Each structure stands twice: as structure tokens, then as C-alpha cells.
Amino acid sequence: MSTIIDGKVLSLSLKEEMKGRIVELEKRYGRKPCLVVIIVGDNPASRSYVTGKIKAAAFVGMDSRLVELPEDVSEEKLLSVIDGLNADDAVDGILVQLPLPAHINEDKVIDAIALEKDVDGFHPGNVAKLWLGRPCIVPCTPKGIIKMIETTGIDISGKKAVVVGRSNIVGKPVAKLLLDRNATVTIAHSRTKDLAAVCAEADILVAAVGRPCMVTADMVKPGAVVIDVGINRIPCVKEDGTPGSRLVGDVDYESASKVAGFITPVPGGVGPMTITMLMENTIECFLRKQGC
Ligand code: NDP
């Protein structure tokens, strides 16, 4: 049976540490770090992510603001809100919850966020810096994944890492972070031939696909570190016999946990760490502004 890498427990201890740091920062600089989250429309999943972010900010004691814009807000209006926040000295981090409605160009919106306030690390300037190995804001989910791997005590250097998924927000940046730590990295995707054999070679396996329980025990090398990024809602029958739904990852936890050395659960794995890294990135942006 594998050891669980508990994202909730790890997040909580990191957030407790942040509480103390924020008290010190306020004493030293006369204000707390401030995160602004913008939500457009009322997509229930986006709403729940945004609520989690604002709650986490309150928990660590940083300032936060939620800007709520209607579904039919114009792109121009959203860009002008971002411009205003870019110019606001009391704001350290700006996050626009994705996805945006179809009439708004997401690239334009991401590009409009000031590089030094881009707490998601999605701005092309931050992406370029990440790939050039320069100091930058590292995207939250990949950053959290690396912290989780590091808690296992396993030395990433020289290990074979397989990342399944090549999105700009998870797959590619996590592959780069593993490469930076001297892993030998393979990025697999929907056209990869014999995915099972590729995965079974991995000492570190990161699944960021969005397909429920796709990674099964036969795809896991005995003793491997398995990081499950997927968040998939599947139908289930509730205790009272009525239809409901539950969250599962991209990894078939039941079977894979019998083979892996370490594994993250869903829920309670990568998800909480992503939010915690958002808090860390906001603090980092605050500190850079103070010239630290
Ligand atoms: P995307 O849909 O952007 O990317 C999915 C990737 O999976 C693509 O590269 C795709 O390949 C690949 N893929 C799809 N089907 C297969 C297959 N059968 N075999 C191999 N590869 C396949 O997803 P994201 O990266 O945004 O998210 C992935 C998952 O992680 C989702 O469940 C999402 O909800 C979750 N997530 C969780 C977060 C958290 O905090 N826990 C944060 C962000 C995402 P191709 O490029 O060839 O199409």
C-alpha cells in the first residue's frame, strides 16, 4: 500500500506558516499583501474555485477583493477593470478566473495583467521567463505538485518522470519544473503510442488529463510517486438511493495505490495545494514590490 501525499494537511501547515509571515509583513511594511480575484458570469465551478481562493486569503490573513462582473460584460470593460487594478498600488496580485465567456478573448485578458501582478503565472512574459530559467511567478498547480513530490524525500534528480497532458497551465510547466530539478522528462499526450508502457517506466508519474480513472495499476511502476491532477465529476448513487455525483481523479486510486510508493488523493490532493500556492505567489508579488 502506498503512502498518501495529503494535500490538505500540507496546505494547512503551509497556510499556518503564512499567517505568521503576513503579520510580520504588515508590521514591517504597513500593509498586508492583497489579492484581487475577478469572476465573469456565474459558472458554478468557477464560483466554487473563486470562493475557495477568497476563503484561503482570509484564512492566511491577507487582504482580498472579489470583483464580480456579469456574463455579458464587454471585453473592453473587463480590460479597463484590469488596467485600474494594474495601476492600484494597494493590489499585489490579480487573478481572472478562467474560462471566460466566448465573446471575450482570454489571451488578450491574460496579456493585460501586469507581469508583476500575474499571480497565476499565465502571462506570456512569465511563461517565457519560466522556460528561460529566469526568476518568475511559477503557475500554482505545477508549483504545488513539486512541493508535494519534495515532501516524499525522494531526490528528483536523475529520476524518470512522465507527465501525461501537455496543457499550458499544468502539463508543460510541471515538465519544465521537473527538468529544472534534473529529472529525465517525457511529456505524453493523446497521440502517445502505448501510453501504458510509457507510464510504467516512470519513477514520477503526473497525470493531468481530465479523464476519470484513466491511469490504472498496470501503468504504474512499483514504488513510483503518482501525482493525480485530474478533477472529474462522475455520476454515482447516493446513500439514499438517489442519483448524485462525486469527484475522481485521472488515476484509478483504488488499484494504483496498491502499486505506487506515494500517491495523491482526489479530492484532497493537488487541489488544496493549488490554492495555497496562489497565496504564496501573492506574498511573493508583494515582496518583489517592496524590492525584496
Ligand atoms: P487540458 O484539457 O487542457 O489538457 C489535457 C491533456 O490531456 C492534453 O494535453 C491532452 O492531449 C491529454 N489527453 C487527453 N486525452 C488523453 C489520452 N487519452 N491519453 C493521453 N493524454 C490525453 O487539461 P488541463 O491540463 O487544464 O487539466 C487536466 C486535468 O487537471 C483536468 O481534470 C482539470 O480539471 C484538472 N486540473 C486540476 C487542477 C487542480 O488544482 N487540481 C488545476 C488545473 C487542472 P492533447 O494535447 O494531445 O489533446
Task: For the beta carbon of residue 90, count every other beta carbon within 10 angstroms.
Answer: 11
Ligand 1 pocket residue status of 275, Cβ below 6 Å: no
Ligand 1 pocket residue status of 283, Cβ below 6 Å: no
- C-alpha–C-alpha distance, residues 24 and 33, integer Å: 11
Residue 87 has pLDDT above 90, yes or no: yes
Q: In DSSP terms, which residues pair with 36 in a beta bridge?
A: 65, 94
Cα of 8 from ligand 1 centre, angstroms: 22
Question: What predicted TM-score, i.e. pTM, was given to this entire model?
Answer: 0.97
Encode pLDDT of 133-150 as tens digits: 999 999 999 999 999 999
- The pLDDT assigned to 1 comes to 85
Q: What interhelical angle do 7-29 and 44-60 show, nearest 10?
A: 60
Sequence-ordered strand ranges (E) for the chain: 3-4, 34-40, 63-69, 93-96, 160-164, 184-188, 204-207, 225-228, 232-237, 243-248, 262-263
Q: Average pLDDT for residues 87-96, to the nearest whole number? A: 98
Residue 80 has pLDDT above 90, yes or no: yes
Encode pLDDT of 44-60 as tens digits: 999 999 999 999 999 99
Q: In DSSP terms, which residues pair with 234 in a beta bridge?
A: 246
Ligand 1 pocket residue status of 193, Cβ below 6 Å: no
What is the edge-to-edge ordering of all strands in the sheet holding 34-40? 63-69, 34-40, 93-96
Number of alpha carbons in the 13 Å side-chain half-sphere of residue 269:
29
- C-alpha–C-alpha distance, residues 155 and 136, integer Å: 23
- The pLDDT assigned to 191 comes to 98
- The pLDDT assigned to 51 comes to 97
Encode pLDDT of 64-76 as tens digits: 999 999 999 999 9
Which is nearest to 41 in space by CA: 5, 17, 67, 9? 67
Ligand 1 pocket residue status of 164, Cβ below 6 Å: yes
> What would the grid cell of residue 68 be?
464580480
In the residue annotation, 120 being an active-site residue is answered as yes
Confidence of residue 292 (pLDDT cuts 50, 70, 90): confident
In the residue annotation, 53 being an active-site residue is answered as yes
For residue 206, count CB atoms less than 10 angstroms from its CB and return exposed for 0-12, middle for 13-18, buried for 19 or more: buried
Q: Average pLDDT for residues 2-29, to the nearest whole number? A: 98
- C-alpha–C-alpha distance, residues 258 and 261, integer Å: 8
- C-alpha–C-alpha distance, residues 266 and 247, integer Å: 7
- The pLDDT assigned to 197 comes to 98
Encode pLDDT of 239-276 as tens digits: 999 999 999 999 999 999 999 999 999 999 999 999 99
Within its chain, how far is the Cα of 88 from the centroid?
A: 26
The atom of ligand 1 lying closest to the CA of 274 is: 40
